[in-house]
Amino acid sequence: MKKILVFMMALMVLVANVACAAQTPASESQKEVQQTEPEAQTDDTAEEDEIVIGLAMINHTSPSFVGILEGADEAAADYGCKNIWKSCEGNLDTQIDIVRGFIQQKVDVIMIDSVDVNGLVDVVNEATDAGIDVLGIGSPIPGKANYNATYPNKDDDTFIARFLGNLYKDEQDATIGLIIGTIGNNVSDSRQQAFEATMKNEFPQFNIVTGLGAWDPTTSMTAAADIINANNNIIHMHVIQDGMANGAIKAVQQSGKDITMTSENGDPEGIENVINGNYLMNNLTGNARIGYWFEAICYYIAKGQEMDTTQLLHTYRIMSEEYQQMAKDWEINYNDAGEELDMVTPEEAQKIASAYKQEFGPDVWIPTLTN
Amino acid sequence: MEREKNWRIGDLYKGIPLQSLTCIVILVVFIAIVSIVNRSFLDGSNIQSLLTQIAPMGIISIGAAFVIITGGIDFSTGTGLAMAAVFGGVMYQAANNNLFVMVLSCILLGAVLGAVNGAVITILHLQPFIVTLATMSLAQGAALFIAEGRVVFLNDPAITRIGSGNIFGFFPTSFFIFIVVCIIAWILLNRTKMGIYIYAIGGNEEAARFSGIQVERYKFFAFLFAGVCTGLGALITICRIEQVAPNISGTTQLDAIAAAVMGGVSLSGGKGNISGIVLGVFIIGVISTSLTFMKIPVTAQDAIKGMIILGVLLIDSFFNRHVKRIVK
């Protein structure tokens, strides 16, 4: 009797999983989800021409990742692609298995948000040898012939550090808090390194205290609260991602101290916080925007478009006109290569963040090729 | 003089469990060390912050302890917290920003999760380890499904009062709720038939069954209570950060189980008390907070935290064995 009950329960779970997978792409982890786009499949020829992209994500829990997925799905519809999503829930071995699964499925392109870029090199090279192109997103994968799409984290966080350093240059014996994601994540590491190095080299008078936010608002709030309580001379808190900043800002507000904040990503609430003065500035990448951009790159890779193997996202510093002028006066609106960095008002950022189809859509954009 | 001559070290802590005494000593010594390194550790604002931080972890630890004392384990509290929080937030919005609905929804869904765990384990006689791993995944998927990837921001003075308000001008409201849960749990474990039976089941399940105890019923209640605690922990968490997202549970689950074990709850069952769990919660909370105060580099914090916890457990074990011998 017990065995029959167990068998029936297992069957029910299987049926539920299949039902959920058919309806809600992001509802279960480690589960294959097929994104169907009936509008793009008008006849058998269209289906054969459809580009199939395998997406190996880290997880489905973070709202940031969900935003990326939504943008990519929109791009899939516009570009006539078909997405197969899988999440490894932060496990490297699982991600390797997922990539191998995509190789066996003979997808056209594999998009990977790496748990560990070095740990994935072998399997990425396997995919390349099997004739399948790979795009590493966010964190560049050092494979032999894959593509990478990443953000100019060094330029972005160097700018933020220089902005703060100049803004508070008259402060003596001050502490600046920095909330990062996780150690070993390339995006977190590169933003942290750029911020800390700039502060150390150009503004050594500031004490930088770093806390782990673990990409979730609860941990970020705790980390921010501890930093604030441990450092009575804290004047500013920088958080490398809006999702975490949503928690850190509560710690700042509840402390009752005069502490300013900055953040990155340019999520809708992050831009709102610049408008209402809670943040001095933000940095626009945009979750749906980058998801759309990744998908568009995959399309052109599959089509054999000539392009740079490393694609760099164009980012925007979100700040008031007053702060933009100050940045120009301090001459910090250029990166170390002498290229001008774009600065926009929050209202302009809102338009850019939502106009990603016009920015990266079919027939209006192609990946960069420098030579 | 005769009384002093006959005085023994055991007279010092009559009535206080030995496990709790060693926890108190460890906690006091640790706080002293951190305070010497950074005086701000004992500032009122930090004490308040610490009490606020440990409240949700402590509530979940109490619930986890009930399950562990019966000889089981519950891995679903972390994702269960996220699921209950998301459900509570969605219902709050659906009910036109009704706080009562949110409170009820969080606790109810936590109870449902606990009841599912308890029912599957007791009716089908499956191992809690496997069942709660499965419900952990189920809860995570449910949280994503309900939230649809959105972050819901809560803007209500009552929510702010629960999450960051104070009672008597100092004690965080959330910590007060934790103390109430501790009192209820103490009464259940020490003053009710349920508590006696829970210890008996954890001590020797077969003997308890032969004694006529309805083992399945009380194991179910233990998981149900743990689920209610998970829901309550979810409520306090979302009131604290004033938002709802599917990734808000952080490391609460691991810290909660570690706190219970550190406070003397035996993983093999049948042993543990509320005072020890409270001390364990404080120790874990103080260790987590102290890393920033002692300026431990962020790259080493996880490793240092693990080493400190291990060190505390070793010291605790040493004192329990050797002080017991001296006392006897």
* A126 CB within 8 Å of a chain B CB: no
Look at A250 and B241 and tell me if their CB atoms are within 8 Å. yes
Q: How confident is the model at residue B176 (pLDDT cuts 50, 70, 90)?
A: very high
- Regarding whether A161 and A94 lie in a shared domain, the answer is no
Which residues in chain B (97-116) have CB-CB distances under 8 A to chain A?
A: none
* B39 CB within 8 Å of a chain A CB: no
- Regarding whether A95 and A166 lie in a shared domain, the answer is no
The total of structural domains in chain A comes to 2
Give the model's pLDDT for residue B323: 61
What's the mean per-residue pLDDT of chain B? 87
What is the tens place of the pLDDT at every residue in B32-73?
999 999 989 999 999 999 999 999 999 999 999 999 999 999
- Regarding whether A43 and A111 lie in a shared domain, the answer is yes
Structure tokens at A216: 């979730």
Scored b (16 or more CB within 10 A) or e, B197-231 reads: bbbbbbbebeebeeeebebbebbbbbbbbbbbbbb
- Regarding whether A261 and A158 lie in a shared domain, the answer is yes
Give the model's pLDDT for residue B304: 87
Which residues are registered as beta bridge partners of B321?
Answer: none
Distances in Å between the alpha carbon of A348 and those of A266, A285, A322? 11, 13, 15
pLDDT at B128 over 50: yes
In the predicted model, what is the mean pLDDT of residues B306-310?
85
DSSP string for B152-211: EE---HHHHHHHH-EETTTEEHHHHHHHHHHHHHHHHHHHSHHHHHHHHHHH-HHHHHHT
A329 located within any domain: no
- Regarding whether A227 and A104 lie in a shared domain, the answer is no
- Regarding whether A209 and A127 lie in a shared domain, the answer is no
- pLDDT tens over chain A, length 371 residues: 566 666 666 666 665 554 444 444 433 333 333 333 333 334 444 455 789 999 999 877 777 888 899 999 999 999 999 999 999 888 899 999 999 999 999 999 999 999 889 999 999 999 999 999 999 999 999 999 999 999 999 999 999 999 999 999 999 889 999 999 988 888 999 999 999 999 999 999 999 999 999 888 999 999 999 999 999 999 999 999 999 999 999 999 999 999 999 999 999 999 999 999 999 999 999 999 999 999 999 999 999 999 999 999 999 999 999 999 999 999 999 999 999 999 999 999 999 999 999 999 998 999 999 86
Give the model's pLDDT for residue A63: 79
DSSP string for A164-186: HHHHTTT-SSEEEEEEE--TT-H
Structure tokens at A15: 């049926």
Domains along the sequence of chain B with CATH: 54-318 (1.10.3470)
Owning domain of residue A81: 26-151+286-313
Q: Count of residues for chain A?
A: 371
Which helix (H) or strand (E) is A148 found in, with range? strand A147-150
- Regarding whether A175 and A275 lie in a shared domain, the answer is yes
Q: Sign of the CA dihedral B205, B209, B211, B215?
A: positive
A367 located within any domain: no
Look at B298 and A269 and tell me if their CB atoms are within 8 Å. no
Nearest one of B258, B215, B245 to B81, comparing CA atoms = B245
Phi, psi of A173 (to 5 degrees): 55, 55
CATH number for A226: 3.40.50.2300
C-alpha A192/C-alpha A211 separation (Å) is: 11
* B151 CB within 8 Å of a chain A CB: yes
A344 located within any domain: no
Nearest-by-Cβ selection for B248 from A5, A65, A218: A218
In the predicted model, what is the mean pLDDT of residues B229-241?
94
C-alpha A209/C-alpha B18 separation (Å) is: 39
ipTM value for the complex: 0.86
Q: Would you give the DSSP letter of residue A25?
A: T
Nearest-CA distance A302 → chain B (Å): 29
A348 located within any domain: no
